[in-house]
Structure 1
Amino acid sequence: MTLMQLENLTVTRSGRVTLHPASLRVDAGEFIGLIGPNGAGKSTLLRAGLGLIPALGSSSLARLTPATRARAAAWLPQAREIAWGLRVAALVALAQNGNATAPQVAAALTRMDVASLADRPATALSGGEQARVLIARALAQDTPLLLADEPIAGLDPAHQLACMRVFADLAAEGRAVIASAHDLGLAARFCTRLLVLHQGRIVADGPPRTVLTPDLLRKVFAIRCHLAETEAGLIVQPLEGVTAPG
Structure 2
Amino acid sequence: MTLLEIDALTVRRGTQTVLENATLNVAPGECVGLIGPNGAGKSTLLRAALGLIPATGHSSLAALPPAARARAAAWLPQSREIAWGVSVAHLVALAQNGDEAAPQVAAAMARMDVARFAARPATALSGGEQARVLIARALAQDTPLLLADEPTAGLDPAHQIACMRVFESLAVEGRAVVTSLHDLGLAARHCSRLVVLSRGRIVADGTPRAVLTPELLAEVFGIRAFALETADGLVVQPLGGIV
Superposition TM-score tier, normalisation by shorter sequence: over 0.9
Gaps of 5+ in 1: none
Correspondence for 2:193: 193
How far apart in 1 are the matches of 2:99 and 2:49?
29
Match of 2:55 in 1: 55
Q: What per-residue deviation string (whole Å, max 9, x for no partner) do you get for residues 140-190 of structure 1?
A: 000000000000000000000000000000000000000000000010000
In 1, the alpha carbon distance for the partners of 2:43 and 2:35 equals: 10
The answer for the alignment partner of 2:68 in structure 1 is 68
Counterpart position of 1:137 = 137
Q: Name the amino acid aligned to 1:97.
A: N
The two structures have a TM-score, normalised by structure 1, of 0.98
Query: 1:36 is matched with which residue?
Result: 36
CA distances 1:189-235 after superposition (whole Å, capped 9, x unpaired)? 00000000000000000000000000000000000000100000001
Offset of 1:81 from its aligned partner?
1.1
Structure 1 position 65, deviation (Å): 0.5
Q: Which residue of 2 aligns with 1:96?
A: 96
Aligned equivalent of 1:180:
180
Report the equivalent of 1:241.
Answer: 241
Alignment of 1:113-192 (within 5 A): 113-192=113-192
Match status 1:226 vs 2:226: yes
Instruction: Give the equivalent residue in structure 1 for 2:46.
Output: 46
Q: Which runs of 5+ in 2 are unaligned?
A: none
SS in structure 2 of the partner of residue 2 of structure 1: coil
Write out the 4+ residue segments of structure 1 that deviate beyond 6 Å after TM superposition: none
Tell me the distance in 1 between the aligned counterparts of 2:52 and 2:127: 25
Offset at 1:242?
Answer: 1.0
Distance 2:91 2:14 in 1: 36
Letter in 2 for 1:164: M
Aligned partners of 1:200, 1:72: CA distance in 2, in Å?
26
Letter in 1 for 2:166: V
For 1:102, give the aligned amino acid.
A
SS of the residue aligned with 1:47? helix
Give 1:14 shift: 1.7
TM-score by length of 2: 0.99
Residue matched to 1:215: 215
Q: 1:15: how far off?
A: 1.3
Alignment match, 1:15: 15
Q: Secondary structure at the match of 2:82?
A: coil
- Give, as a single letter, the amino acid of the residue that structure 2 aligns with 1:150: E
Secondary structure of 2:185's counterpart equals helix
Once residues 224 and 52 of structure 2 are traced to their aligned partners in structure 1, the CA distance between those partners, rounded to angstroms, is: 36
Match of 1:2 in 2: 2
> Number of aligned pairs?
243
- Residue identity opposite 1:148 in structure 2: A
- 2:60 and 2:238 map into 1 onto residues whose CA distance is 36
Quick one: distance in 1 between partners of 2:44 and 2:117?
33
* C-alpha distance in structure 2 between counterparts of 1:227 and 1:144, whole Å: 33
What is the CA RMSD across the aligned residues, in angstroms? 0.5
